Homo-oligomer: A and B are copies of this chain.
Amino acid sequence: MTSQQLTQEIKNKKSFLCIGLDVDLNKIPQHLLVTEDPIFEFNKAIIDATHDLAVAYKPNTAFYEAYGIKGWISLEKTINYLNQKHPEIFTIADAKRGDIGNTSSMYAKAFLEDLAFDSVTVAPYMGKDSVEPFLAVKDKFTILLALTSNEGAFDFQTKSVEGKELYKQVIETSRTWKNAENLMYVVGATKAEYFTEIRKIIPDSFLLVPGVGAQGGSLSEVCKYGISENIGLLINSSRGIIYASAENDFAEKAREEAMKIQKEMASILN
């Protein structure tokens, strides 16, 4: 998928919602636990109920790895289901990987080629040669951690590096890397005032924005400072949607929550 296609899809659906598929067996409806693959059954029901309201889905790999091999099978089934049934959906492996060059190539193969996600999140700490192997994969996107939504973002990311905050250094430096056009960035909604500064460096890049909902970020604030001509935003919500109910009506309630956000997005886009 190209970023132009993603923008078109956003316009079609009047939505730039990304749904985080962070499945915790302690939080899903109990009746699913008797099925062969509760995680996949849960994801499938959520996707079936919300796919016309969201443009992207984002499984966080930690929640699958926590269940070992069973979890990886659920992840594989989930991405296959998305790719087969909804090829227009943008998929994100929220893996936050990053390693020396030959090792990053292995991760790029795993997530962008074998599992065939459209994109993968990557940590910038190890620099250029740890990120470029991801960027080298054609027609795929690397979503670099810039300014995250958690408290710990203030430990290093906002510290001044040679007169400029580290997250800005990361963004600026990354623009010089090979195939930088394949970059998107993670910018937390909990720090809406930073979007103005970020848009000065990357006016058009897509930003994946976690932190709306459970973490306290505001959709309207993020859009006020972060929206670009090509929209350029993917707003993620995980817990607020997928755990709206833990009863038999979980998918229906998830749809209601997704629709609330989609309606707000539609009014912003108009």
Interface residues of A (CB under 8 A from B): 22, 60, 62-63, 65-66, 68-69, 72-73, 76, 94, 96-101, 103-104, 106-107, 109-110, 114-115, 123-131, 145, 148-157, 159-162, 166, 169-170, 173, 210
Q: How far is the CA of A97 from the CA of B60 in the complex (A)?
A: 12
Q: How far is the CA of A243 from the CA of B162 in the complex (A)?
A: 42
User: What are the 9 tightest A-B residue pairs by CB atom distance, in nearest-first order?
Assistant: A127-B152, A127-B155, A62-B106, A66-B106, A65-B110, A129-B152, A100-B150, A128-B152, A62-B103
Q: How far is the CA of A124 from the CA of B150 in the complex (A)?
A: 13
Closest Cβ of chain B to A62, distance in Å, is 4
* Chain B residue nearest in CB terms to A239: B102
On whether the beta carbons of A126 and B148 are closer than 8 Å, the reply is: yes
On whether the beta carbons of B162 and A107 are closer than 8 Å, the reply is: no
Closest Cβ of chain B to A102, distance in Å, is 8
Closest Cβ of chain B to A150, distance in Å, is 4
Known: A69-B69, A128-B151, A159-B161. 6 other contacts (CB 8 A): A66-B114, A69-B76, A123-B123, A127-B155, A127-B156, A161-B161
Given known A62-B97, A129-B150, A151-B127, contact A166–B161 (CB-CB < 8 A): yes
* Chain B residue nearest in CB terms to A160: B162
- Residues of chain B with a CB closer than 8 A to A160's CB: 161-162
Copies of the chain in the assembly: 2
20 contacts between A and B (CB under 8 A): A60-B103, A62-B99, A62-B104, A65-B107, A66-B114, A69-B76, A96-B123, A100-B148, A123-B125, A124-B155, A125-B125, A127-B151, A127-B154, A128-B151, A128-B155, A155-B173, A159-B162, A159-B169, A160-B161, A160-B162
Closest Cβ of chain B to A214, distance in Å, is 10
* Chain B residue nearest in CB terms to A66: B106
Q: How far is the CA of A110 from the CA of B126 in the complex (A)?
A: 23
Q: How far is the CA of A225 from the CA of B234 in the complex (A)?
A: 47
Closest Cβ of chain B to A96, distance in Å, is 6
On whether the beta carbons of A130 and B150 are closer than 8 Å, the reply is: yes
On whether the beta carbons of A124 and B66 are closer than 8 Å, the reply is: no
- Residues of chain B with a CB closer than 8 A to A106's CB: 62-63, 65-66
Closest Cβ of chain B to A79, distance in Å, is 11
- Residues of chain B with a CB closer than 8 A to A155's CB: 124, 127-128, 173
On whether the beta carbons of B62 and A114 are closer than 8 Å, the reply is: no
- Residues of chain B with a CB closer than 8 A to A103's CB: 22, 60, 62-63
Q: How far is the CA of A151 from the CA of B60 in the complex (A)?
A: 29
Q: Looking at the complex, which one of B69, B76, B96 makes contact with A99 (CB distance below 8 Å)? A: B96
Most B CB within 10 A of own CB, among A66, A104, A124, A157: A66
